[in-house]
Homo-oligomer: A and B are copies of this chain.
């Protein structure tokens, strides 16, 4: 992204235009306000009044933030560098390709598309326009994830990954189960798979460095609503080298966000991977070369804590990071 500032000055913030006032946009707007490299330049909704309400509710400066009463008007705003698009999944192809065609970079809410062909169309539009594409799977940009990546890539610490399990579920209330866009076949038709299983699949692919499995077999008896939208499901994934992964996702069970990764040399656990329990720090645990030392265990564990100054779900622009790591050799769990 270009900047008109001279080289000895900080670059101009990236100017986001928020296309649609979905509830997830509240969180992203907060992150954009907190991140030093980002600014919310404009909000577009189906009415200017809705855009104004969103801006006022989310701490945006209504005097300087441009408020657009149509999505098209936001796309035509010359002072928007990046369109953040949190609309329902079924609308992604139309508006993502439109944004790219107007020369806007794209931050696209997840799930990015209803099928691979739709995502290919979006990516092709971005390529053709020479704009950047980023999906808004926030935990991928959390500093903890970078630290976990280092460990997962460390063949001495983790070794060859053999098993990855991931669970992401939450207990939706009755209103959600009746009325939310995520249970509607014409809006977010992927249901729990798109909203929650997306994260599990991403976690699994992240863990194996995006090597695709040779076989994926759905768990039996997924739960669907009357419209056929998935409310709970899961699958097992198999790789050519014998690695396996399993995930479960659901709108019907208590909020749970787990990755468990088992390698030949080490084991990683994280139980809040999508949204950390705490805003300013996040933990995971790694045990390496664990062994029995009767009557209990010995091994080398590090319980990694990453502390940072930005919001927990800080969006693509990471804030300043401080790090606090503790190594606990010996018995590998500290209360």
Of A36-44, A111-119, A281-289, the one touching chain B: A281-289
CB-CB under 8 A from A296, the residues of chain B are 275-279, 312
Residues 258-296 of A at the B interface (beta carbon under 8 Å): 258, 260, 262-267, 269, 271-272, 275-279, 281, 283, 287-292, 294-296
In the complex, the answer to whether A295 meets B262 with C-beta atoms within 8 Å is: no
Q: A183 at interface (Cβ–Cβ under 8 A)?
A: no
> Do A262 and B254 contact each other (CB < 8 Å), given the known contacts A295-B313, A335-B283?
yes
In the complex, the answer to whether B30 meets A295 with C-beta atoms within 8 Å is: yes
A211-242 to B contact mask, C-beta < 8 Å, 1/0? 00001010111010000000010101010001
Chain copies in complex:
2
Complex Cα distance A94/B195, Å? 55
CB-CB under 8 A from A170, the residues of chain B are 290, 292
Q: A246 at interface (Cβ–Cβ under 8 A)?
A: yes
Complex Cα distance A305/B333, Å? 13
In the complex, the answer to whether B248 meets A254 with C-beta atoms within 8 Å is: no
21 A-B contacts, Cβ less than 8 Å apart? A159-B253, A162-B232, A162-B252, A163-B253, A171-B264, A171-B265, A215-B220, A221-B238, A221-B242, A232-B242, A234-B244, A255-B290, A256-B267, A258-B269, A271-B333, A279-B295, A283-B333, A294-B313, A295-B311, A295-B312, A305-B335
Count, chain A residues at interface, CB 8 A:
70
Complex Cα distance A158/B215, Å? 33
Complex Cα distance A264/B236, Å? 22
Complex Cα distance A289/B171, Å? 8
Q: A299 at interface (Cβ–Cβ under 8 A)?
A: yes
In the complex, the answer to whether B165 meets A165 with C-beta atoms within 8 Å is: yes
CB-CB under 8 A from A322, the residues of chain B are none
Min Cβ gap A25→B in Å is 12
